[in-house]
Structures are given as C-alpha cells and as structure tokens.
Structure 1
Amino acid sequence: MKDEQVHKTPLNEKHRALHALMAPFGGWDMPIQYEGIIAEHSWCRNKAALFDICHMGEFLFQGDIEADGLEGVFTFSVKTIPVGRSRYGFLLNEKAGIIDDLIVFRLAEDKAMIVVNAATAENDFAVIQNRVKAGSLKNITCSTGKLDLQGPLSREVLVSAFGPEIAAIPYFKFITMNILGCEAIVSRTGYTGELGYEIFLSAEKVSELWDRLLQDERVRPAGLGARDVLRLEVGYSLYGSDIDESTTPLDAGLEAFVNFDKTFVGKDALLRQKEQGTNRRKVAFKVAGRRSPRHDYEICFEGAGAGKVTSGVFSPMLGCGIGIGFVKPELAAIGSPLTIRQERISMEATVCELPFYRGGSLRS
C-alpha cells in the first residue's frame, strides 16, 4: 500500500515521538507496540493502558428509528436500546455473511451513533445508506476522535481526571459529559476483557486528551499487538480474520447477537442454515506448549486437514499458545484433539471453551 493511501490518526506524530513500531492496519498507519507487546499486555491486565482507536468509523443517524428503516438494518433491535446504552451485533449481506460487526449507541429517541471497523467503514456506510428509507445518515469519522482506556485502574484514573460521575457508568452504558471543554461520550465498553472505557470526542481535542491521560503514572500507551493478545484471551472475534462476508453468525457461534424475532437483511438465509446445519464451526483451542499458532496454519485431525486457524497467539495469562479456527462440525466438541501444522511446524492442541481467560476486571 502506498504511503499516500494510508490514513493517519491525529496522534500519528505522538506515536512516532514515543518510538512506536508503526505499520498499516485497516488502511491506517497504526502503532503496533511501544515498549513491547508482553509489557503492554501486562500493564493493561494490571493497571491502565491507553489505546489510539481513532481509525474506527463512526456514523450518526437521526430520524425515526423504525419508520425510517434503521431498525431493519442490523441483526439486533435498535428501537429497543434504551437511550444511554449500546448494543453489539452484525450487518449482514443477503446470504447472511458478515459485512461487519459493530456497536450502536442510542444517543436519543431519534439519534444513534454506529461504530464500525476501520477497513470496512466506507462500504458499511454505503450499505447502511442504501438500506435506510429516510432520516439523516452522516459519516462523522474524520471529525471524531476515539481513545480507549482499559485496565483495572481505568475507573480510578478517569474519576480523578474528570469527575465522579464516571464511576457510576454500568457495563455497556455511556454518558455524555464535558471533557477538555467539548462534549464527549464516555462509554463503559472495550475489547480487552478488562474494566475499561471508550471515549469519543472532537478529533481536534484527542491529542490533548492523550497527553492529559499519559500524565498519570498509572497509564501507559499500548499498541495493536497487545490489543490483539488481550482480545483473543477473552475470545473476541477480529473482523477480517475470524469473521468476514464468507462467515455467518451461526458459523462463528455468535447466534446470541442475532434477534430472530425481527426483520433484517440475511434473516432468511440464516433461518435456512439453522434448519440445514452449518458445514463448519468456529472452535477455540489451547496448544500443548508455548508455541504460537498463526493465521492460516492448518488444523488437522488424525493426519487429515480439517480446517484453518484464523487467530492465534501466545497467551501470557495461560502460559501456552491459544487460537481460534474453523473445523468440520463433528470436530467442534470440547476436548477434541487437534494438530496445528505449518510446513515443518507441528503442535498438539485441544478444543476448549471460551473465554480462554476468565480473570479480567470487565464487570468490576
């Protein structure tokens, strides 16, 4: 990808000043690590890690949620989200393939913010715009900054910086408040399995907020490398690796985020698949050793190919390799023995339950 095609967040120069290892991700020049993936992972699990998530896409919808058509766009109901809360789910194609996984924040009775993945943002906007009948849909990505503060000390850090009202935010709920002189959304959500917050505010203020939070000795910056290990330890899917347009929510074991009591694009295909059964299933597995399985490694059973690894890392919390992949349904039972292979690499693995790591502070 040419340099001119790679977007930069408002914090790009901050990352480079901290000597971060930078690399393209989802069309953006992003920090992979600062002092090291393991160190940043540990800081997030024990204290408070700060992530630049300005690359994510944000859309603002205003209108009648049901009459203007937003209610039928996703696999979950938007109209039943209480104001001040958010909901996770999917944007599907007609064949029930996952165009994107996303979160909708209900800002008001007639207003919602849709937060999508960076690499899919442009297409997501076009799809959603095509499906809504009326109302206003605006792409506010460029004007919106987003920082995630994650870790067991994140609440204490934000309360000391911006006030006690943050302490009262329940999981998957948000408040609107003044931060650094501008309106901001502080949401108790995240991607790490730890207590944490996502902060949305003006892109013009995000650099000031970054500096302000890093003044606290309990906070250190963390890159996408640590974020990937953190999210996989708690079993969260990564779009483009674990789920994509060739994957349905049923394939991925994510039926809990599909409301079959409402109408949405892809519902008929999902109902057919539910009746006929899937020809592959997502599984989680632990490796017998410290070696890391990697994306596209082959999953074998009794010497024969049975699927592919979609995500894999060494887990510092478990002390072994862990991964997610897709296999034939008959091999998806907990305890099934598998072999992970890539050329001369071979590692024994066992299918296990998710999440891999259950000791996080997420609901503290």
Structure 2
Amino acid sequence: MAELFQTPLTAWHHAAGAKMAPFAGWDMPIQYAGIIAEHQHTRSAASIFDICHMGEFLLKGAGAQQALSKVVTHNLATLATGKCRYGFLLNEQGGIQDDLIVYCLGEDEYMLVVNGACTDSDFSWIKQNLPAEIMLEDISKSTAKIDLQGPKSIEALESTLGKSFRSLGYFNFETVDIDGEKMIVSRTGYTGELGYEFYLPASKALLLWKKLLENEHVKPAGLGARDTLRLEVGLPLYGQDLDEKHTPSEAGYGMMLKSEADYIGKGADKEIREQLVALTIPGRRSARHHDPVTLPDGQEVGIVTSGSFAPSVGCAVALAYIKKEVAEQTSFLIKGARTSLEATRADLPFYKEGTARTKLQG
C-alpha cells in the first residue's frame, strides 16, 4: 500500500484526536466530535475544513485566455479579474474529466483549482492541449487550502484578519497579507452556507488554522460533515456524481455551457442519455453508492451515485443517474443490500435555507 500524503495540518488532526482515513491518496480527518454534530455546527455557526489535498495550477502568458478557453468549459471572456467561476474539464466525448474553479488573477493570468485525485492527470491533459508559450505550473505542494464555512464565518473572518470583508461578493476574491505572505480569500464553498476559502503558502497553514480556532464560533470539521453538507444542497462530488461517462448536461449543468470558444468536448457535452435526479427517502436509512434504482414495477432504470441521511432535512437523500426516458417519474425503489427503499423525486437543493448567497450589510 502506497504511503499516504500528509497536509500541513495532519499532525494537528492526529493530536486533536480526529478519526483519520485515506481520501484521494491523503491521510485526512473524517470527524472530530462526530459527523452530525459538525454538520449542525456548520449550519448554525462556523467550521473550518482542511482541504489541502486539492490541486492548484498557475497559468499565464500572452494569449492565455484564448488558450485556456479551448480546454475548459468556462466562459473566460466574461470572467473579470477578482472573480472566479465553476466549470468542467472534458474529454473528446463530452464526458467530465474533472470539475474545477478558475480564478482570474489578472489579464491572461489564472489559477485553476482541481480535485486532489485528478491533479496529475489534469495537469498532463491541460499541458498537452496548451500552446508551448503558455506557462502552466503545478503549485499544489506549496499551496494550502483551508475552508471557513457557516453563517457566522464573516464574524470569524473579520476578527481573525482585522478588516472588513462585507463588500466581497459571491464567487469574488481578494488577496491579503498573512504574516508577510500573500493569501487569497475567496467567497466560495462546498456547504451551501456563507463561507470563504483560503489559498496560502503551506508554511502558513497551521498559523491560520490556529488563529481561526481562537474565535468562539469556530470548530474543526472533517470530510464526513463536508460530504453531508454538500449533498443536502445538491453539490456533486467528482468520482461519484460526475465522471467521464457523463456529460455536464446529464449532471444538470447544461445551463452553464455558455462559452463561445471551441473547447474540447463542445457539442458532445449537450448529449443526455441519463439525468442526475434528486431523491428523498423517508426515515434515516440511506442509499449507498452503486445501489440499483428501479421503477415500482421492478424495471431497473438507474444507479445511486451519492446517498446519506441529511441532518438538516430530517430524512435520507440521494442523487442517482436515471435513464432519460423515465427521469421525470416521481416514484422509484432503491435496491439496497438488505432491503428496498421507497424514493420520491425531489427538486434541488434538498436543504433550502443555506446562507451562501447572503448579501452582507455594513
């Protein structure tokens, strides 16, 4: 078994008694006080998450916007400096190789944030599809990523850094100083709550982590709560809800494909054979990844990609790819290992009280 990668915070997690487990090749904290407790604290106050396993690339050079526009689905022509945008890296068949956020750092200068398990393959794919004169650098090892999420994250952020961030809009970012180094503060997240993501030198990660924990509203949370939080608001996980066999349109993101550039996979990314459908399940028993989905008459029509009990909703929820021709049906059965679960088609997000887009006053 290959040795697991460690983040700059791994030793802290072990010392704090976190339950650790392998994730995307990294030794990562799954929980501290418990998944439900951490989930509920994030919904009501603020939590910090170690997300240092993610990959970051710098891309710049004359013509970088045009060159990158041929590799990703993002509409970079309308992405201004200080803003970031979610989108996809596709293969020739329109399948999703990864989902990623692109940050516009300046004219023809970008930072790409990719999933940890895809860092090497993404870098290779992007590099081979860029002109030689465009500089692409993998800065993942020298970059730390910490997420602060929850309705009280603004108070924690401002008390930690000693300045106002009230004017920072959703999917906007700014660069600040931390102990003499540069740090990006991005109003983004993966929980459905008001929150911020920090990109900073790995050497400063523990300093920021400890400073944030000095705030009375802030507690650490693991990847277990991060998963239930993101599922409640219908955010997809690459490798489960997104993969190379499905297009962005099948995953429900067809409306985001606005770029006029001739990017890899364009056209094929509109194909829909299956649709990612939201399902609610009465009670606490949840569906599991790869559980078959049938119609009430037993006809198999799909497969579960994500499933969990949703603490803020009060029942179990799931995402599943369902054949296009029956995706609008309202009633399904999920064939679990021990029993069948009745499931009803729902609208996303499951949890509708999230604060992510809150307009801050002051």
Partner SS state of residue 213, structure 1: helix
How far is the alpha carbon of 1:260 from its aligned partner? 5.1
Q: Does 1:28 align with 2:26?
A: yes
Which residue of structure 2 lines up, in the alignment, with residue 170 of structure 1? 169
How far is the alpha carbon of 1:79 from its aligned partner? 3.6
Which residue of structure 2 lines up, in the alignment, with residue 234 of structure 1? 233
Structure 2 counterpart of 1:359, one-letter code: E
Q: Could you tell me how far apart the structure 2 residues matched to 1:226 and 1:35 are?
A: 11
Within 5 Å, give how 1:115-154 maps onto structure 2. 115-133=113-131, 134-154=133-153
Within 5 Å, give how 1:69-80 maps onto structure 2. 69-80=67-78
How far is the alpha carbon of 1:202 from its aligned partner? 0.5
Q: Could you tell me how far apart the structure 2 residues matched to 1:20 and 1:67 are?
A: 42
Is residue 233–residue 350 contact of structure 2 (8 Å, CA) maintained in 1? yes
Q: Does 1:363 align with 2:362?
A: no
Greater CA drift, 231-240 or 71-80? 71-80
Which residue of structure 2 lines up, in the alignment, with residue 310 of structure 1? 305
Q: Could you tell me how far apart the structure 1 residues matched to 2:192 and 2:86 are?
A: 15
TM value normalised by structure 1: 0.95
How far is the alpha carbon of 1:77 from its aligned partner? 2.0
Q: Could you tell me how far apart the structure 1 residues matched to 2:229 and 2:102 are?
A: 23
For structure 1, which runs of at least 5 residues remain unmatched after alignment?
A: none
Which residue of structure 2 lines up, in the alignment, with residue 287 of structure 1? 281
Which residue of structure 2 lines up, in the alignment, with residue 13 of structure 1? 11
Which residue of structure 2 lines up, in the alignment, with residue 100 of structure 1? 98
RMSD: 1.3
Structure 1 counterpart of 2:224, one-letter code: G
Partner SS state of residue 289, structure 1: coil
Is residue 98–residue 238 contact of structure 2 (8 Å, CA) maintained in 1? yes
Within 5 Å, give how 1:231-310 maps onto structure 2. 231-259=230-258, 261-270=260-269, 273=271, 278-301=272-295, 302-310=297-305
Partner SS state of residue 117, structure 2: coil
Distance 1:316 1:112, change over 3 A: same
Q: Could you tell me how far apart the structure 2 residues matched to 1:58 and 1:66 are?
A: 16
How far is the alpha carbon of 1:324 from its aligned partner? 0.1
Is residue 284–residue 322 contact of structure 1 (8 Å, CA) maintained in 2? yes
Structure 2 counterpart of 1:353, one-letter code: D
Q: Could you tell me how far apart the structure 2 residues matched to 1:52 and 1:321 are?
A: 26
Distance 1:339 1:174, change over 3 A: same
How far is the alpha carbon of 1:66 from its aligned partner? 4.8
Which residue of structure 1 lines up, in the alignment, with residue 209 of structure 2? 210
Greater CA drift, 138-147 or 68-77? 68-77
For structure 2, which runs of at least 5 residues remain unmatched after alignment?
A: none
Structure 2 counterpart of 1:304, one-letter code: Q
Count of residues in correspondence between the two structures: 356
Structure 2 counterpart of 1:110, one-letter code: D
Q: Could you tell me how far apart the structure 1 residues matched to 2:194 and 2:206 are?
A: 23
Partner SS state of residue 119, structure 1: helix
Is residue 159–residue 167 contact of structure 1 (8 Å, CA) maintained in 2? no
Q: Deviations over 1:212-241 (max 9, x none)?
A: 111112100000000000000000000000
